[in-house]
């Protein structure tokens, strides 16, 4: 059985690259095996796509378990929530007849993204000019800065009685900061939506998430923690400063949900058969040729949140091995294998070489330095699709899988060959 007997443990599913690995799809596929899906970090910067019955859904703050009737969904304390964006998601789901009032819980310790956080995000990006992060402009950085700066507002403050006073004080602080940034803005419309969103949030179950999750574990409920972004965007281990502001790695589950390290069970690490990045920052294997264009076209590589085109490149194995190490991955999941269909040959980086230095398979401190990937070439496999079964994998694909497994030291348990639920191949469930 894929999910080993890890009673009283929480499984983790997260991205091993720069996000958009297909986490939403794989959570959806695995969600029938879990009672609870819990988000532990990030916020509306995420865009998780799920596709079934020929409809594509994109979720941002809400866990990807919402389409399964018997699944509970928790927004954990490590998440930052924007009431206006949250309300838009809830309304879209309501239109589909999905009522989440009994199935979606929000931790009281979850921090709020204020309308002025979004403005501060935009002002900071503008001030950075060419060195901008390429943020999603959802206010993520400023909200986490207020959290660690000990100024933040939390969901629990909504029911504390003097929320309005706290909100106005923090907003005034932001307005003073914005005066110094020479940035024109008007929040009136967004603020109206935001304040309405506060009332929507108040209707949900606002809980002590850390008690809830540990109670569920004691009761033997099966829980999956759903990551957002990816390991290379982690605030500690990503390509700093071109990262997001949260802990996207397995350790973030302990912080973002309140579970002890010993309670971590299986860790599903998701990666594309190649790699993409949206926003600025170093990208050693980025392609600027016809191969890059083909990956972008075949993979429909446009951001699910911002619609920006994603930069595309060959799989970066030193980075993947690093991500496997940092996260303690027990099961690898390869997505978008179908996008490599019909490549006569393709490549993957196995080392980085730096001018005048030795080639290495380790991630350097500064990815911006003059790194050149050392590639290994692989033969293409023709076509893999919904009809491909685990016992009939094309030999060239099986060779690619074996190479990645040997390189990273982790086994590939699942391969995704299309965006739909059913376009999923379970390799060896005992791996």
Buried b (16+ CB within 10 A) or exposed e, 351-377: bbeeeeeeeeeebeeebeeebebebee
Contact at 8 Å (CB) between 366 and 357?
Answer: no
140 binds, among ligand IMO, ligand GDP, Mg ion, none (CB under 5 to 8 A by kind): ligand IMO
Pairing mode, strands 311-313 and 275-277: antiparallel
Question: Distance between CA atoms of 224 and 11, rounded to whole angstroms?
Answer: 5
Question: Distance between CA atoms of 377 and 404, rounded to whole angstroms?
Answer: 13
Residues that bind ligand GDP (CB under 6 A): 15, 19-25, 47-49, 51, 304, 335-336, 338-339, 416-419
Answer yes or no: 146 catalytic: no
Answer yes or no: 20 catalytic: yes
Question: Distance between CA atoms of 362 and 427, rounded to whole angstroms?
Answer: 28
Tell me: does residue 15 bind ligand IMO (CB under 6 A).
Answer: yes
Q: Give the nearest distance from C-beta 58 to ligand IMO in angstroms.
A: 9
Among 47, 256, 279, 418, binds Mg ion (CB under 5 A): 47
- What angle is formed at CA 228 by the lines to CA 90 and CA 265, rounded to 5 degrees? 110
List of E strands, 241-369: 264-272, 275-277, 311-313, 315-316, 331-335, 345-354
Tell me: does residue 258 bind ligand IMO (CB under 6 A).
Answer: no
43 binds, among ligand IMO, ligand GDP, Mg ion, none (CB under 5 to 8 A by kind): none
Contact at 8 Å (CB) between 378 and 400?
Answer: yes
Catalytic residue among 20, 82, 121, 338: 20
- Cβ nearer to Mg ion, comparing 301 with 338: 301
Q: Give the nearest distance from C-beta 269 to ligand GDP in angstroms.
A: 12
- Cβ nearer to Mg ion, comparing 254 with 273: 273
Residues in a beta bridge with 57: 50
| Residue 210, helix vs strand vs coil | helix
Contact pattern for ligand IMO over residues 122 through 161, marking x by CB under 6 A: -----------xxxx-x-xx--------------------
Buried b (16+ CB within 10 A) or exposed e, 124-159: bbeeeeeeebebbbbbbbbbbbbbeeeebbbbbbbe
How many CB atoms lie under 10 A from the CB of residue 232? 29
421 binds, among ligand IMO, ligand GDP, Mg ion, none (CB under 5 to 8 A by kind): none
Tell me: does residue 335 bind ligand IMO (CB under 6 A).
Answer: no
Contact pattern for ligand IMO over residues 218 through 237, marking x by CB under 6 A: ----------xxx--x----
152 binds, among ligand IMO, ligand GDP, Mg ion, none (CB under 5 to 8 A by kind): none
Interface with Mg ion in residues 292-321 (CB under 5 A):
304
Interface with Mg ion in residues 5-24 (CB under 5 A):
20
Q: Please, where are the H alpha helices in 149-269?
A: 163-179, 188-202, 209-218, 250-253
135 binds, among ligand IMO, Mg ion, ligand GDP, none (CB under 5 to 8 A by kind): ligand IMO
Catalytic residue among 11, 28, 48, 174: 48
Task: Cis check for the bond before 241: say yes or no (omega within 30 of 0).
Answer: yes
Q: Give the nearest distance from C-beta 244 to ligand IMO in angstroms.
A: 3
Q: Give the nearest distance from C-beta 140 to ligand IMO in angstroms.
A: 4
- Given the rule CB under 6 A, which residues bind ligand IMO? 15, 18-20, 42, 45-48, 133-136, 138, 140-141, 228-230, 233, 244-245, 278-279, 304
- Given the rule CB under 5 A, which residues bind Mg ion? 20, 47, 304
Residues annotated catalytic, as ranges: 20, 48
């Amino acid at each position: 059985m894929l999910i080993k007997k890890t009673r009283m443990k929480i499984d983790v599913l997260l991205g091993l690259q720069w996000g958009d690995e297909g986490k939403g799809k794989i959570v959806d596929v695995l969600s029938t095996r879990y009672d609870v899906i819990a988000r532990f970090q990030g916020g509306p910067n995420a865009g998780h796509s799920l596709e079934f019955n020929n409809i594509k859904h994109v979720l941002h703050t809400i866990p990807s378990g919402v389409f399964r009737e018997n699944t509970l969904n928790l927004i954990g304390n490590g998440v930052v929530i924007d009431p206006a964006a949250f309300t838009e998601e809830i309304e879209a789901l309501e239109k589909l007849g999905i009522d989440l009032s009994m199935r979606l819980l929000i931790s009281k310790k979850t921090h709020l993204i204020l309308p002025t956080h979004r403005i501060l995000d935009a002002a900071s990006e503008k001030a950075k000019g060419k060195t901008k992060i390429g943020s999603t402009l959802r206010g993520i950085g400023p909200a986490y800065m207020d959290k660690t700066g000990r100024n933040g507002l939390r969901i629990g403050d909504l029911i504390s009685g003097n929320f309005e006073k706290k909100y106005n004080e923090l907003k005034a602080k932001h307005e003073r900061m914005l005066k110094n940034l020479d940035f024109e803005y008007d929040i009136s419309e967004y603020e109206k939506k935001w304040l309405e969103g506060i009332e929507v949030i108040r209707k949900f179950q606002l809980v002590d998430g850390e008690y809830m999750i540990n109670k569920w574990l004691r009761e033997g409920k099966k829980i999956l923690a759903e990551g957002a972004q990816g390991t290379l965007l982690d605030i500690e281990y990503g390509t700093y400063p071109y990262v997001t502001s949260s802990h996207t790695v397995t350790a973030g589950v302990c912080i973002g949900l309140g579970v002890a390290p010993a309670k971590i069970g299986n860790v599903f690490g998701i990666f594309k058969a190649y790699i993409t990045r949206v926003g600025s920052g170093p990208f050693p294997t980025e392609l600027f040729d016809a191969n890059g264009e083909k990956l972008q076209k075949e993979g429909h590589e446009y951001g699910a949140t911002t619609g920006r085109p994603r930069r595309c490149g060959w799989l970066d194995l030193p980075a993947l091995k690093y991500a496997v190490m940092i996260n303690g991955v027990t099961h690898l999941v390869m997505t978008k294998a179908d996008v490599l269909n019909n490549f006569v040959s393709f490549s993957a980086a196995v080392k980085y070489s730096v001018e005048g230095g030795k080639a290495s398979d380790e991630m350097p401190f500064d990815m911006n330095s003059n790194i050149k990937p050392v590639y290994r070439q692989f033969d293409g496999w023709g076509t893999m699709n919904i009809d491909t079964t685990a016992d009939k994998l094309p030999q060239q694909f099986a060779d690619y899988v074996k190479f990645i497994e040997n390189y990273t030291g982790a086994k590939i348990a699942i391969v995704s060959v299309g965006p739909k639920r059913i376009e999923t191949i379970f390799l060896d469930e005992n791996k």
